[in-house]
A = this chain, B = another copy of it.
């Protein structure tokens, strides 16, 4: 796929989509997490796992059980990328 969103990779079998986001300070991490929660609530689609510390957020998206990640997951990944402040 030529238009896969930047920074995401497929991992595992069946694959999940994974990306690590890094930030300079906690306030940026917090803003990103809050924006991510708003997307989750709006779409009703929940990442399989979100793992964060002071200056990083790791996100794993999974497809429906037994399926490969499809347009829905890639589209969510693209939308999550768009939450980043310019320059990240």
Q: Say how many copies of this protein the assembly contains.
A: 2
Instruction: Classify the secondary structure of A's interface with B.
Output: mixed
Given the complex of chains A and B, what is the CA–CA distance between A50 and B46 in angstroms?
Answer: 16
Assembled-state Cα–Cα distance A47/B52 (Å): 9
Given known contacts A30-B37, A37-B30, is B54 in contact with A51 (CB within 8 Å)? Answer: no
A75 at the interface (CB under 8 A from B): no
Contact across chains for A54 and B50 when beta carbons are under 8 A apart:
no
State in angstroms the CA–CA spacing of A53 and B59 once bound together.
10
CB contact list, A29-88 vs B, under 8 A? 30, 33, 37, 40-41, 46-54
Contact with B along A19-36 (1 / 0, CB 8 A): 000000010001001000
